[in-house]
Structure 1
Amino acid sequence: MKTLNDFNFKNTHVLLRTDLNSTIISGKVQDSERIKEAAITINELKRKKAKIIILAHQGQPGENDFTSLRQHAKLLNKYAKVKFVQDIIGKRAKKAIQELKSGEALLLDNIRFVKDEFRPAKESNKLIATLAPLANIYVNDAFSVCHRNQVSLVSFPKYLPSCIGRLLEKELNALKKINLKSKNTLYILGGAKPEDNIKLLNKAKNNVLVTGTFAPLCIIASGKNLGLQNKIMKDKLYLVKKIKPELNKIIIPVDLAINVNNKRVNVKINNFPSNYKILDIGDKTIELYSNKIKKARALCMKGPAGNYSKKPFAKGTIALLRAIANSRALSLIGGGHLNDAISKYKINKKRFGYISLSGGALLSYIAGEKLPGLVALGIK
């Protein structure tokens, strides 16, 4: 496993894949732990007089948070001085790359704007054809997306000498030390990407608490109609079939929180369906889950329990994090949004075993799956 220690970066063009993906509220990109952590490797490469070409993404095509990295560049400049070009493989990008001086960094626009990012098997890939000849070394510092089989993660190591950045190195070293496989681990699976939770649900023996967008799907899988929430989650209902065989492992919420006239209202599961969107786990569920956390010897929490950006519906996320912080369990916290919640609500980070910036990649790693981004670097 090669790291930044294994190369002389002076006067070399370095293609750095990092993760700046952040929460967006009312069109404004929020400062995040991912942006702060990304600056560590960037600043080290700047000190080593590299010419840094930064590749990153925001959101997925078709989603509301799929946008340019212009705002990210402004936020990143608080921690590492970088230039930004609103281009990726066009003339403007190539010119900006060629004009880089030693110790300078250039952030290209959202790598996912280029369709070829999603076509790693395609011959004559435009990303590779354009960027590989302009670089001397490839550095992957984006553990949080290493479970994705995408060009910026798996293809460049075939053409360029490669290594891992400091954040990826930090994540791997920490995860090797925190072994949850041999313990009767309590899993708290939430967040906005329920499909990521399935892989770990299959591996878990029991003791799975469900929150976030995963909770409604598990409730639907148990045979309950939630009303409006069923319609909201219609694109995710295909997961219900995968959840049903695992229901015996899951401790389902007993109530959920909705917004009625700008107030948090708790609704018992038996009182559904309703015409309201579910925004958090309910107070009784918070109490139930917190008691489970107190008794746990090892636990892993992935993703917020609800809409943590709005205080009334951050209650579940805050309460569960505080319960974990006050427990004696070996704890692993995962996901960029959960990291942001810890910072936003000033929960003591030192009370957790390890806080990872990764969500889906973390679950894949714990589940024992091979991560394409790591395999491409020769890391098993």
Structure 2
Amino acid sequence: MIKVSDLSIPTLDDVNASNKKILLRIDINSPVDKKTGKLLDDSRIKAHAYTVKNLLERDNAIVILSHQGRPGDDDFISLQQHAELLSKHIGTNVEFIEDIIGPYAIEKVKKIEKGQIYLLENVRLVSEELIEAPPAQQAKTFLVRKLSPLFDIYVNDAFAAAHRSQPSLVGFPIVLPSAAGKVMEKEVSALAKIFNPEDSPKIFVLGGGKVSDTLKIIEHLSKNRVADRILTGGLVAELFAAAKGINLGKANMQVLESKGLLSLIPRARKLLLSGAPIEIPVDFITEKQNGEISEEPANNINGIIKDIGSTTIEIYSSFIKEAKVITMRGPMGIIEDERFRNGTKSLLKSAFESPGYVIIGGGHMISMVEKGIEINENKVHISTGGGALLLFLAGDKLPALEALHLSWVSKGGKS
């Protein structure tokens, strides 16, 4: 059982998940090459393979639901490739069923035997899956009514889709005993550390270009007094510097204006005046029009800001090394250019070397974790859920977690 905020989330250890027919919802939505239609990355498939193997070891029959893309998009493709890759990572054949709730799928599922694994076709081929609604309403959909009588237990392992309130994510827990899978359990356990008052001090490293989203996160962290320090970088740092009255120069203010961020300055200023523990860089790496790169103090900027400077790295690293929980989302600089990755890489290095528990989220930040580096999974968590993690940090409820809690409580579990 995992307690996160006011929710009790049952895990596989809280239900009888042996010798059963299991309906497993995972999220193996992966990037697709537009020209060839081939999958470009199988990291999510590899992550969920651990849950499937765990369920297989418990002598279960397993039927998997997942999605890929959305109708009309280039990445809306069949899950046949996914089945092949999942088979490879599990070391056991995963039979692909080119159907979801039609007669063929229903008959196959009825006859599935212990030790067999089926992956049904892209669940978003069922139009109901594109509609978001409350769990009680989703429990009445054709998808849930046709499949649920065929199973003993529903397992949700799709943390990356936990912010959606679709039938395959919130409908089944209403009608079946339910639990979080191993990927979901790991994600929720990491999130629980963020809001556990005993795990302090907490440092949040927030950068990147999604300024409006990050501002919402900072407002939530500040209101609930979750963060001991918030270290800013990227456009987020520039916004707070401008809100503080620091002269960033005409060119950098034009960058903020071109991205529609000047209207956010009053919100940023309000946070600063409220005493939110926000740290702003004291120096930056900049690039001039002639291509010259230099390090400039924050109060005397002449070039375009590209990264945080060496003194800021030193200050931020000292905070990180004292933290018990470090949450990192969004890079410190323009990491698309190799010349401006030092700030992000340096802070990641400090986090990995610190004694604290590290949570890394967001595609850009994850991409900066150097390949080949040995990750201690007991102290570093790399989140699979971009949107779900963002919304959780911003204080929004995650419908899939709410549904698992509701299932547990409604079936006699103690809240």
- Residues 331-375 of structure 1: per-residue CA shift (max 9 Å, x gap): 321326378536643333229833142455446556766533222
What amino acid does structure 1 have at the position aligned with 2:16?
F
Aligned to 2:186: 170
Aligned to 2:307: 282
- Residues 207-259 of structure 1: per-residue CA shift (max 9 Å, x gap): 3223467567667877986556765x56x99877755533554444554788x
Identify the range of structure 1 (132-141 vs 344-353) with the bigger mean alpha-carbon deviation.
344-353
Aligned residues: 367
- Conserved in 2, the CA contact under 8 Å of 1:3 and 1:169? yes
Query: What are the within-5 Å matches in structure 2 for residues 1-380 of structure 1?
Result: 1=1, 2-5=10-13, 6-10=15-19, 12=21, 14-22=22-30, 28-32=39-43, 34-58=44-68, 69-80=79-90, 81-85=93-97, 88-89=100-101, 93-94=105-106, 97-98=109-110, 100-112=112-124, 114-117=126-129, 118-121=131-134, 122=137, 124-176=140-192, 181=197, 183-190=200-207, 197=214, 198-204=216-222, 207-211=229-233, 227=254, 243=268, 245-247=270-272, 249=276, 250-252=278-280, 255=284, 270=301, 282-284=307-309, 287-296=311-320, 297-298=322-323, 299-305=325-331, 314-328=341-355, 330-335=356-361, 337=363, 340-341=366-367, 344-350=370-376, 353-357=379-383, 358-362=385-389, 370-378=397-405
- Conserved in 2, the CA contact under 8 Å of 1:209 and 1:289? no
CA distance in 2 between counterparts of 1:194 and 1:90 reads 44
Q: Which runs of 5+ in 1 are unaligned?
A: none
- Conserved in 2, the CA contact under 8 Å of 1:16 and 1:138? yes
CA distance in 1 between counterparts of 2:294 and 2:125 reads 41
- Conserved in 2, the CA contact under 8 Å of 1:334 and 1:359? no
What amino acid does structure 1 have at the position aligned with 2:114?
S
TM-superposed CA distance for 1:148, in Å, is 3.5
TM-superposed CA distance for 1:290, in Å, is 4.6
Identify the range of structure 1 (1-10 vs 56-65) with the bigger mean alpha-carbon deviation.
56-65
Larger Rg: 2
- Residues 27-73 of structure 1: per-residue CA shift (max 9 Å, x gap): 742232x3322111111222334332223345677887666545444
Against the structure 1 CA distance between its residues 185 and 85, is the aligned structure 2 distance closer, same or farther, given a 3 Å change threshold?
same
Against the structure 1 CA distance between its residues 344 and 332, is the aligned structure 2 distance closer, same or farther, given a 3 Å change threshold?
closer
Against the structure 1 CA distance between its residues 58 and 291, is the aligned structure 2 distance closer, same or farther, given a 3 Å change threshold?
farther
Against the structure 1 CA distance between its residues 228 and 131, is the aligned structure 2 distance closer, same or farther, given a 3 Å change threshold?
farther
Q: Percent identity?
A: 34
TM-score by length of 2: 0.67
CA distance in 2 between counterparts of 1:283 and 1:303 reads 15
TM-score by length of 1: 0.72
* SS of alignment partner, residue 376 of structure 1: helix
- Residues 256-279 of structure 1: per-residue CA shift (max 9 Å, x gap): 788x99x9967978557x8xxx9x
- Conserved in 1, the CA contact under 8 Å of 2:219 and 2:271? yes
- Conserved in 1, the CA contact under 8 Å of 2:152 and 2:177? yes
Against the structure 1 CA distance between its residues 191 and 228, is the aligned structure 2 distance closer, same or farther, given a 3 Å change threshold?
closer
TM-superposed CA distance for 1:84, in Å, is 3.3
The two structures, once aligned, show a CA RMSD in angstroms of 4.6
CA distance in 2 between counterparts of 1:22 and 1:71 reads 11
TM-superposed CA distance for 1:200, in Å, is 4.5
- Conserved in 1, the CA contact under 8 Å of 2:204 and 2:231? yes
Against the structure 1 CA distance between its residues 68 and 335, is the aligned structure 2 distance closer, same or farther, given a 3 Å change threshold?
farther
Identify the range of structure 1 (310-319 vs 37-46) with the bigger mean alpha-carbon deviation.
310-319
* SS of alignment partner, residue 45 of structure 1: helix
What amino acid does structure 1 have at the position aligned with 2:87?
N
CA distance in 1 between counterparts of 2:117 and 2:147 reads 15
Q: Which runs of 5+ in 2 are unaligned?
A: 2-9, 409-414
CA distance in 1 between counterparts of 2:211 and 2:115 reads 41
- Conserved in 2, the CA contact under 8 Å of 1:45 and 1:103? no
- Conserved in 2, the CA contact under 8 Å of 1:194 and 1:214? yes
- Conserved in 1, the CA contact under 8 Å of 2:316 and 2:347? no
CA distance in 2 between counterparts of 1:310 and 1:25 reads 23
TM-superposed CA distance for 1:187, in Å, is 0.8
Against the structure 1 CA distance between its residues 11 and 149, is the aligned structure 2 distance closer, same or farther, given a 3 Å change threshold?
closer
What amino acid does structure 2 have at the position aligned with 1:327?
S
- Conserved in 2, the CA contact under 8 Å of 1:46 and 1:52? yes
- Conserved in 1, the CA contact under 8 Å of 2:132 and 2:164? no
TM-superposed CA distance for 1:149, in Å, is 3.1
CA distance in 1 between counterparts of 2:162 and 2:70 reads 15
CA distance in 2 between counterparts of 1:151 and 1:264 reads 54
TM-superposed CA distance for 1:103, in Å, is 1.9
